[in-house]
Amino acid sequence: MSYKKKELEKIALEAIKDDDDILFVRDLVSALPCSRSTFYNHKLDKLDTIVDAIEKNRISLCRELRGNWRKSENPTLQTNLYKLIADDDEADRLNGTRQKVDLTSNGKEVLTGIKVEIIK
């Protein structure tokens, strides 16, 4: 069967709207009545309307999961949520990757911590 690009775009957008489990382009391709090659030949994977609709499903799922994590009493879920919303310093502390760096200028200490030799 031959499909027009606009027709396939409309079918794809309806499928994404109806099925919030479509989170990736490959999920969408399997939900359409056309072949994978037809989908890509029409460059439907590049259309902003389709990319944005899939992104909306992903964002919606992320929000739902974060809401569940927030309400959970599970410390692992709470820690992971905190890592997602933390600023860089807090995330580094949680991950154990925080390092203090000491910069010097003409022998005068500017910051404290690990000393870095500046080669001129």
Q: Which two tokens stand for residue 88?
A: 């860089």
Looking at residue 44, the DSSP 8-state letter turns out to be G
Q: What is the pLDDT along the chain (120 residues), one digit of tens a residue?
A: 688 999 999 999 999 999 999 999 999 999 999 999 999 999 999 999 999 999 999 999 999 999 999 999 999 999 889 988 999 888 888 888 866 665 566 666 655 566 666 776
Q: What are phi and psi of 53, to 5 degrees?
A: -65, -40
Which residues fall within 8 angstroms of residue 15, CB to CB, at 6 or more apart?
22, 28, 31, 32
pLDDT for 92: 84
pTM for this prediction:
0.70
CA pair distance 68, 3, nearest whole angstrom: 41
8 A C-beta contact, residue 89 and residue 100: no
8 A C-beta contact, residue 82 and residue 47: no
pLDDT for 102: 53
